[in-house]
Amino acid sequence: MQKTSKIKHLYDNNVLNICLDTIDKGKQALVFVNTKNSAEAEAERISRKIKLKEKDKKVLEELSQKVLTTLDRPTKQCQRLALCVRNGVAFHHAGLHSAQRELVEDNFKKGIIKIICATPTLAYGVNLPAFRVVVRDLKRFSAPRGMNWIPVLEFLQFCGRAGRPDFNDKFGEAICLSQTESERARIVDNYIDGEPEEILSKLAVEPVLRTYILSLIATEYANTNDELMKFFGKTFYAYQFKDIRKLKGIITRILKNLKQWEFITISDDYLEATLLGTRVSQLYLDPYTAHYLITCLKRAKDKMLRPFSFLQMVSYTLELRPLLTVRVREYEHTEEKAAEYQSSLLSLEPSMFEPEYEEYLKSIKTALFFNDWIDEKDEELLLEQYNIRPGETRVKLDLADWLLYSSEELSKLTKMHGLIKELAKIRVRLKYGAKEELLPLLRLRMIGRARARKMYNNKIKTIEDVKKADITKLTQLIGKQISLSIKKQVGQEFREEKVKVKKGKRKGQTSLAKYENKK
DNA sequence: GGACGGTGAAACTTCAGGTTGCCTC
DNA sequence: GAAGTTTCACCGTCC
């Protein structure tokens, strides 16, 4: 199977050379790198050197415009992607806005985009085969020990993307790059001739185990210690480790916690979930988190409540991690904010000298980010100020929503009805990224933060105002179809042809020119 | 003489990703 | 640990 082919050495960058060669052959390539920044930078480097065929130019130009106008106001990331796409290159990672991710994936499948530089997201979630796969980085940074070789399993996952049988590729090529001869030997040994790692059971990880145990009890699948052990005895974990005694020890401790937190009762070895415990299990919450949330909510009555109180509460859960990192130059500012909100916070502040303090500060920063979002700050500002990309923003917002919903449910069951309204309000604000004053308008379909803001600033502030508003004026603000739709929603029907549309200037087209010149 | 832009080296920063819940009048 | 980004000094050009 040994087969070698020469690739023209045009530039000092081998990834670039391989990609140019791939395009020459009329094929496509995926480049896997180890960070989001690298994906963007590599894509940029390649896109600068590509010579496009005339026929591709127009399609790519259009696609580039689409990428640029995905958000109301393009972020730096949007501009960067748009510039790359214009040359048939894209980057792909979890920070991308989902609409842009789709654009990239679809247009790669269509063959319009030739090269994608990506982080591992692409190898797992989506099925995007290419003739060539270039694995640029085989090392990745991971917490305490610095740079480590990636698992063989992951490497195989990358290579699995090579070759497109649907497109009559008889074979695909996966290419690794090495800097030195010894590195080359290591790659061949480890990855090409090496064995993939064993798959390990994660059951013994406590949050997982806690969640399962409560769920087994709540669904009445297991109601005694013996039944629990019987169940876990049949799991992959038990098969793999055969260390049932250790598992038993952990289970005993977890049962004690669950009882103490009032999620289960134990009488004569009979385990039964309480109403609260059942709900916790239905919500898929880690019981530890559920207990933390309840404890926080109980403190609410003695605190000066603000949205920030709840935002920080959910930010400080395991579920929301990894949190936003507090950079050295932000340290002081974050501490100041922590002090400023002190009287509103529902979680307990760890001592400055505990290692946990770092996480606590991160939770403050994460809550500040949420707070800015519900203060109608746009994605560009969030990217600049918090270094959080649109795609990551969505994930965090989703998680926060789930935890706030759970908090609502827990409030109901623990008779803290006063908090429910507040929590519900924050959830809507979080969903839309809007200030409280927009809430009445956001209840309308087709109305998000941008349109609601426009209407509000033009003195249409409530449903009553919408009813009273002149349809022509409304049309000018938010367009004809949407005006008709919301009028209908408040119980007024208009005949479409009766609505006059004043020809006015539309929102100016966003252009790449500004950004390009800066480069 | 000053504004501006380009360049390159040094200093500084940051580092992959993912599943869960509930429908809301 | 290494890649990428930011910062800053330096230089040339133009008005």
Distance from the Cα of residue A151 to its chain's centroid: 23
Does residue A332 lie within any of the structural domains?
A: yes
For the CA of A501 and the C1' of B18, the distance in angstroms is 47
Q: Are residues A161 and A239 in the same domain?
A: no
Q: Are residues A167 and A30 in the same domain?
A: yes
Kindly report the CATH number assigned to the domain that includes residue A102. Answer: 3.40.50.300
For the CA of A335 and the C1' of C7, the distance in angstroms is 26
Element (H, E) at A134: strand A132-135
Residue A210: name the closest of A298, A292, A132 by CA. A292
For the CA of A49 and the C1' of B6, the distance in angstroms is 20
A53 burial class (0-12, 13-18, 19+ CB within 10 angstroms)?
exposed
pLDDT for the residue A507: 46
Kindly report the CATH number assigned to the domain that includes residue A332. Answer: 1.10.3380.30
Last residue of a domain, one of A192, A220, A242: A192
- Which nt sits closest to A34, CA to C1'? B16
DSSP conformation letters of A223-241: -BHHHHHHHHHTSHHHHHH
Q: Are residues A322 and A406 in the same domain?
A: yes
CB atoms within 10 A of CB A9: 8
A401 touches strand B (CB under 7 A): yes
Q: Are residues A318 and A291 in the same domain?
A: yes
Residue A118: name the closest of A146, A169, A158 by CA. A158
Distance from the Cα of residue A394 to its chain's centroid: 5
Distances (CA, A) of A77 to A328, A366, A371, A380, A389: 24, 20, 22, 9, 8
User: For chain B, which bases have at least one atom within 7 A of a protein Cβ?
Assistant: 13-22, 25
Residues 284-343 of chain A with CB under 7 A from strand B are 284, 319, 321-322, 325, 327-329
Q: Are residues A188 and A214 in the same domain?
A: no
pLDDT for the residue A511: 59
pLDDT for the residue A207: 85
Does residue A512 lie within any of the structural domains?
A: no
Number of compact structural domains in chain A: 4
Instruction: Name the closest residue (CA) to the C1' of nucleotide B6.
Output: A519
Q: Are residues A445 and A429 in the same domain?
A: no
A143 touches strand B (CB under 7 A): no
Q: What is the rounded distance in angstroms from the CA atom of residue A291 to the CA atom of residue A407?
A: 10
A148 touches strand B (CB under 7 A): no
CB atoms within 10 A of CB A330: 18
Residues with CB under 7 A from strand C: A 33, 35, 37-38, 40-42, 137, 139, 141, 146-147
Q: Is A274 left (phi over 0), alpha (psi -120 to 50) or beta?
A: beta
In contact, A279 and A409? CB cutoff 8 Å: yes
Q: Which domain holds residue A227?
A: 202-282
> How, if at all, do strands A264-267 and A270-273 pair?
antiparallel
Q: Are residues A313 and A384 in the same domain?
A: yes
Last residue of a domain, one of A409, A433, A457: A433
Distances (CA, A) of A274 to A200, A216, A270, A420: 33, 13, 13, 21
Does residue A5 lie within any of the structural domains?
A: no
Q: Where are the alpha helices (DSSP H) in A270-330?
A: 275-282, 287-299, 307-315
pLDDT for the residue A62: 94
Does residue A510 lie within any of the structural domains?
A: no
In contact, A116 and A44? CB cutoff 8 Å: no
Does residue A300 lie within any of the structural domains?
A: yes
Instruction: Name the closest residue (CA) to the C1' of nucleotide B19.
Output: A284
In contact, A82 and A512? CB cutoff 8 Å: yes
Does residue A209 lie within any of the structural domains?
A: yes
Which residue's entry shows tokens 């790359």? Answer: A84
Residue A47: name the closest of A97, A91, A88 by CA. A88
Which two tokens mark A224? Answer: 């005694």
pLDDT for the residue A513: 58
Instruction: Name the closest residue (CA) to the C1' of nucleotide B21.
Output: A283
- Which nt sits closest to A33, CA to C1'? B16
Does residue A160 lie within any of the structural domains?
A: yes
Q: What is the rounded distance in angstroms from the CA atom of residue A511 to the CA atom of residue A68?
A: 8
Q: Are residues A137 and A164 in the same domain?
A: yes
What is the dihedral angle through the alpha carbons of A306, A307, A312, A314, rounded to the nearest 10 degrees? Answer: 130
Q: Are residues A138 and A260 in the same domain?
A: no
Which residue's entry shows tokens 């490497």? Answer: A155
For the CA of A140 and the C1' of C8, the distance in angstroms is 31
Amino acid at A499: V
Q: Are residues A398 and A470 in the same domain?
A: no
Last residue of a domain, one of A247, A263, A282: A282
Kindly report the CATH number assigned to the domain that includes residue A491. Answer: 1.10.150.20
Q: Are residues A176 and A46 in the same domain?
A: yes
Q: Are residues A318 and A386 in the same domain?
A: yes
pLDDT for the residue A501: 62
Does residue A216 lie within any of the structural domains?
A: yes
Q: What is the pLDDT along chain A (519 residues), one digit of tens a residue?
A: 556 678 888 888 899 999 999 999 999 999 999 999 999 999 999 998 888 888 889 999 999 999 998 888 888 899 999 999 999 999 999 999 999 999 999 999 999 999 999 999 999 878 899 999 999 999 999 877 788 999 999 999 999 999 987 777 789 999 999 888 889 999 999 999 989 988 888 777 788 889 999 999 999 989 999 999 888 888 888 888 777 788 888 889 999 999 999 999 999 889 999 999 999 999 999 999 999 999 999 999 999 999 999 999 999 998 888 888 888 778 888 888 999 999 999 999 988 877 788 889 999 999 999 999 999 998 888 888 888 999 999 989 999 999 999 999 999 999 998 899 999 999 999 999 999 999 999 988 888 888 999 999 999 999 889 988 888 888 888 888 888 888 888 888 777 666 666 554 444 445 565 555 444
Residues 6+ apart with CB under 8 A from A393: A373, A379, A382
Kindly report the CATH number assigned to the domain that includes residue A236. Answer: 1.10.10.10
